[in-house]
Amino acid sequence: MTMPILNLAAYRFSPVADPQSTRRTLEAAGSALGVKGTILVTPEGLNAFFAGEAAPCREMLDCLRKVPGFETLHAKESWSARVPFKRFKVKVKKEIIRMDHPTIRPAAQRAPVIDAQTLAQWLDRGHDDAGQPVVMLDTRNDFEVDVGKFANAIDWRISKFTEFPQAVRAHRAALEGKTVVSYCTGGIRCEKAALYMHELGLTNVLQLDGGILKYFAETDGRHWQGECFVFDERAALATDLSASAPDV
């Protein structure tokens, strides 16, 4: 079955000088193009997930790339039978994902990353290139983890991301002496999480570049159990990025 609807997900931590003006520009562009979805505009960056026919979606991505600092913005792609959003909206918020730790600024400094293919190889072996044990740390909410996760991943059963810092402090000893790979759906939460752990002195922490969705796109999905929860009407995605639930 041909899937005619392109779904794009993109984010970047880069300062946005005038979020309200940026919101108005992007809102006008998206409405004119007829795409549906949500774009978050914050002082620390942009987060966008929208869908529609391929041509207007790619035009909308070009509009995002016209925002200063986002010229090389990359988007993850997947396809569906129908548009999984009811409307188009652009919101201004304080943070892309709320953590309540202003010292964590991914726009100024990124934690080290690991690419999907290297991670798959490490998980095949059970250790990194230096022979150190690798542990996967899920930074998502508990209900997302219940839909699917990496095999043997650490799950602290947080119900919102603002609980993550306290969970790290409570379980820090369990992470010592291991190579920790933080992961999330698209890369936003695990990027902040990795920086926070570095701030605590856990220096052997990496973030999965592009999150679960990029891992699915660039590997065969091995070591993943279940599906990946997504915040749209597709409900969850299989490892081949197809919707596991019927489009509605």
Residues marked as catalytic:
184
Distance CA 34, CA 32 (A): 6
What's the CA gap between 89 and 64, in Å, rounded? 14
* Residue 191 one-letter amino acid: E
Beta strands 36-42 and 88-92: pairing type? parallel
Closest CA to 168 of 61, 176, 129: 176
Regarding beta strands 205-208 and 228-229, do their DSSP bridges make them parallel or antiparallel, or are they unpaired? unpaired
The alpha-carbon radius of gyration of the chain (Å, integer) is 18
Which of 157, 17, 179 lies closest to 111 in space, CA to CA?
179
Amino acid identity for residue 176 in this structure: E
